[in-house]
Structure 1
């Protein structure tokens, strides 16, 4: 496993300390390091697998435990990304971003991809992976279609009000939630927002540049129209399994054009 030297030093120093806690059944690694594509800017994504009967107690002590294993600068829980089991931390110096997810042994097998097991106290981690294959949830195109035209109307209202920072932020949301995942899907990659699109989907990434803008009303309008165009082309328009919200699309896009035409 090819690991940048700061990350390797962190793992070499920290793993022996984690192993001293008898409640921890094992440690696994996910993310770009486990996938074999790390660089010096990569996070360290750890999964701490804890005995079921000790899990609640360990969860209450997470920050203190991490501070006993490494030089913790600061950390917080991951509710904002929908993962309350996660601690997002900076350690060091030198500063290193480390994500530590605490899971029960009984939950370890439930996963979207296979992690790299770094240490397995009694073989339970390996058995869990062998007994249950990974199951990545597919991108839900119907979920997106049901929402997209409401979002387009929302962005148009922000543009019409002159809230350009809101409009710029909204465009970023569309790239993260809709266009980035669709771009990744087009090249057979896992949909993960806009992460590494420049590398995994360079043609789509170039097209996404049309959705960027500064604090200029006309440029923001063009970027919104570009987002609509990309969605229409990238969302499998001929897929008969997707119920298209044509009436909502027509009304929302007409409204967007009306807003753009004002003061022009």
Structure 2
């Protein structure tokens, strides 16, 4: 594999140490190292297959195990992304972000087709683990069922003057919906807004309209821009639209925009709402 020198050195040192534990039956890479698109700033995403009968014991000791394999600066479990079997860590030197995911062997076999195997040549993909469709990581129906609720939430926070929450809502729309739609349009795997500038440069330029400063009118314009891009980019077929939700939410948003009041912040004078 053509990967950066620091990443290669880390793997050359760590993989044999991990493989020495007979409870680990396979080691693989995911992420950019597996897909052949790494650079000097890439994470190292390691996925470990653990014997099913030993998985519980390994899970209880996984932080200590990692510390025995490499020099860990800090590490924590991945509940924040819904994956407690993940350990997110920094190792050094040099400083690298390394993710370790501990999967039972039977589950590992179902995802092996998406990984680059480093150790465990006897492991084969499960019979029912056919390669997923490009859209497997993003469901446009899931987005349509949620988008208007999220826009309404953002509008209520905008009306209340909670600009940080409004900006967070627009950022969530960008990451969870608009970025994946742009990636799909470019024929790439949806991964939020990751690498969007190179995957879909024209759409990335369009998404700039959803980025604003801490200003009520700018935040309003960013929320409106997110709605407009969603309307342009959502699939025309294969999705059951929610027209009543769209109509009601856009009416509500229009009322909010018409009633914007100046917001005074500690950082400066009252902003000009320019309704």
Unaligned runs of 5+ in 1: none
Q: Does the residue aligned with 2:110 lie in a helix, a strand or coil?
A: coil
- Give the Cα–Cα distance (whole angstroms) in 1 for the partners of residues 42 and 126 of structure 2: 25
User: What residue number does 1:151 align with?
Assistant: 150
The 3 A distance-change label for structure 1 pair 124 and 113 is: closer
The residue correspondences of 1:214-253 to structure 2 (distance < 5 A) are 214-236=213-235, 238-239=236-237, 241-253=238-250
CA deviation map 1:184-210 (0-9, x unaligned): 111111111111000111111110000
Runs of 4+ in structure 1 off by over 4 angstroms are none
- Give the Cα–Cα distance (whole angstroms) in 1 for the partners of residues 122 and 112 of structure 2: 18
User: What residue number does 1:124 align with?
Assistant: 122
The 3 A distance-change label for structure 1 pair 131 and 118 is: farther
CA deviation map 1:123-156 (0-9, x unaligned): 332x226773332525322221111111111100
- Give the Cα–Cα distance (whole angstroms) in 1 for the partners of residues 59 and 245 of structure 2: 45
The 3 A distance-change label for structure 1 pair 7 and 93 is: same
Query: Are 1:257 and 2:254 an aligned pair?
Result: yes
Q: Structure 1-normalised TM-score?
A: 0.94
The 3 A distance-change label for structure 1 pair 200 and 17 is: same
**Which segment is superposed worse, 241-250 or 216-225?**
241-250
The residue correspondences of 1:32-71 to structure 2 (distance < 5 A) are 32-71=32-71
Q: Is the 8 A contact 2:25 2:51 kept in 1?
A: yes
CA deviation map 1:30-79 (0-9, x unaligned): 11011111011100000111111111111111000000000011111111
Unaligned runs of 5+ in 2: 262-274
Q: Does the residue aligned with 1:109 lie in a helix, a strand or coil?
A: helix
- Give the Cα–Cα distance (whole angstroms) in 2 for the partners of residues 112 and 245 of structure 1: 37
RMSD over equivalenced CA pairs, Å? 1.5
The residue correspondences of 1:112-191 to structure 2 (distance < 5 A) are 114-120=114-120, 123-125=121-123, 127-128=124-125, 132-136=129-133, 137=136, 139-191=138-190
The 3 A distance-change label for structure 1 pair 13 and 112 is: closer
**Which segment is superposed worse, 45-54 or 104-113?**
104-113
User: What residue number does 2:266 align with?
Assistant: none
The 3 A distance-change label for structure 1 pair 227 and 8 is: same
- Give the Cα–Cα distance (whole angstroms) in 2 for the partners of residues 134 and 71 of structure 1: 35
Q: Structure 2-normalised TM-score?
A: 0.90
Count of aligned pairs = 259
- Give the Cα–Cα distance (whole angstroms) in 1 for the partners of residues 30 and 241 of structure 2: 36
**Which segment is superposed worse, 1-10 or 111-120?**
111-120
Q: Is the 8 A contact 2:113 2:125 kept in 1?
A: no
The 3 A distance-change label for structure 1 pair 90 and 199 is: same
The 3 A distance-change label for structure 1 pair 138 and 39 is: closer
